[in-house]
């Protein structure tokens, strides 16, 4: 039996949709946004702002990725791995190559406790190497096992096979451990990236309001206790998290209905409403009309011409 056959379960799977062009694969200690495709009509790049709440391991399968943070641009060519530190607000551009009409990337989001667990199993190097505090995007050493994971993910998506997520997670984390063990600089990098860091709350909420997190998760990801999260949230936004999230999601849903071709159910799902009935009731209470009437009275423009305000 080949390695891929061991890692993949032999049955069909409908991958969960994370966002348009994404496939989401979740495990206990990390999640993977796989096969993130950008269909680019020309060699000119397409870009958007992305907020990274978790430390992310990026791999570009095809095309080229440009990540700009604080005026510094990092170019990620095909076939290399980068770590992006949590709490990084960056402008990301996808660019196709002459050989490939698509830019395809994969991103592992790695939780802090996972990075801490990785370095806890390694003796601290006798010589430490300084990693600049502002070095938030870092090219890490290539490793055969990381390429094996990428090969597996690609094969699974193409063949619609289910991945053994436990084996995938184990391979990724043990590989990162091997990389850290072999290099004092990588050890220090993982150590720094695993440190507690408080996210700018206003930026974080405006970038991530549509995710289906509960308030405990929003607080944890932002680096705060729940009580501190509530206190700072009211100070910044002048209302409670629940009231703000509901209004923010409804108004963003209204924008999507008026400016894209997405269906009412797609918009409700994207804004993390539990069901269509709940969304429709809340929407009518806020705007005085049914969401379906918005679609009828305000014709949608093509989806590809819509750029969200937070991504301009």
pLDDT of the residue at 67: 86
Q: Which residue has the tokens 């830019």?
A: 103
- End-of-domain residue from the set 193, 217, 237: 193
pLDDT of the residue at 25: 73
Query: In the chain, which residue ranges form alpha helices assigned H by DSSP?
Result: 3-7, 112-120, 144-159, 165-182, 184-193, 201-208, 215-221, 226-237, 241-259, 264-270, 276-287, 291-297
Q: Which residues contact 300 (CB under 8 A, 6 or more apart)?
A: 257, 258, 259, 260, 261, 262
Range of the domain at 303: 201-311
CATH number of the domain enclosing 98: 2.60.120.810
- The total of structural domains in the chain comes to 2
- End-of-domain residue from the set 166, 193, 220: 193
CATH number of the domain enclosing 288: 1.10.10.60
* Residue 157 and residue 44 share a domain: yes
* Residue 69 and residue 187 share a domain: yes
* Residue 285 and residue 156 share a domain: no
Q: Which residue has the tokens 């894209």?
A: 260
Query: Can you give the pTM of this predicted structure?
Result: 0.68
pLDDT of the residue at 229: 96
Strand 23-26, strand 72-76: pairing: unpaired
pLDDT of the residue at 113: 85
Strand 81-84, strand 137-139: pairing: antiparallel
Kindly list the averaged pLDDT for each block of 10 residues, start to end, along the chain of length 312. Answer: 47 38 68 60 60 84 82 84 86 70 78 87 75 74 87 78 82 91 88 84 88 88 91 97 96 92 91 92 95 71 40 36
Q: Which residue has the tokens 């405990």?
A: 216
pLDDT of the residue at 305: 36
């Amino acid at each position: 039996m080949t390695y891929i056959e061991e890692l993949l379960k032999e049955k069909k799977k409908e991958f969960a949709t994370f966002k348009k062009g994404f496939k989401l694969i979740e495990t206990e200690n990390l999640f993977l946004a796989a096969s993130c495709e950008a269909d680019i009509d020309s060699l000119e790049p397409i870009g958007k702002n992305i907020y990274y709440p978790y430390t992310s391991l990026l791999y570009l399968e095809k095309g080229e990725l440009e990540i700009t943070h604080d005026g510094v641009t990092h170019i990620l060519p095909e076939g290399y791995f980068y770590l992006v530190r949590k709490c990084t607000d960056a402008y990301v551009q996808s660019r196709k190559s002459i050989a490939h009409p698509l830019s395809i990337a994969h991103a592992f989001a790695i939780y802090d406790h996972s990075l801490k667990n990785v370095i806890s199993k390694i003796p601290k190097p006798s010589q430490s190497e300084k990693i600049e505090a502002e070095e938030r995007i870092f090219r890490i050493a290539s490793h055969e096992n990381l390429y094996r994971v990428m090969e597996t993910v690609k094969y699974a998506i193409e063949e619609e096979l289910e991945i053994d997520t436990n084996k995938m997670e184990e391979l990724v984390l043990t590989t990162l451990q091997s990389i850290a063990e072999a290099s004092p600089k990588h050890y220090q990098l993982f150590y720094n990236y695993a440190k507690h860091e408080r996210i700018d709350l206003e930026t974080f909420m405006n970038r991530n309001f549509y995710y289906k997190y509960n308030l405990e998760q929003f607080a944890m990801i932002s680096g705060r206790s729940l009580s501190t999260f509530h206190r700072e949230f009211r100070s910044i936004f002048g209302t409670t998290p629940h009231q703000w999230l509901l209004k923010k999601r409804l108004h963003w849903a209204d924008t999507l209905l008026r400016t894209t071709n997405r269906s009412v159910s797609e918009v409700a799902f994207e804004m993390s409403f539990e069901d269509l009935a709940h969304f429709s009731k809340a929407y009518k209470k806020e705007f005085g009309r049914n969401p379906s009437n918005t679609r009828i009275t305000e014709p949608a423009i093509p989806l590809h011409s819509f750029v969200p305000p937070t991504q301009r």
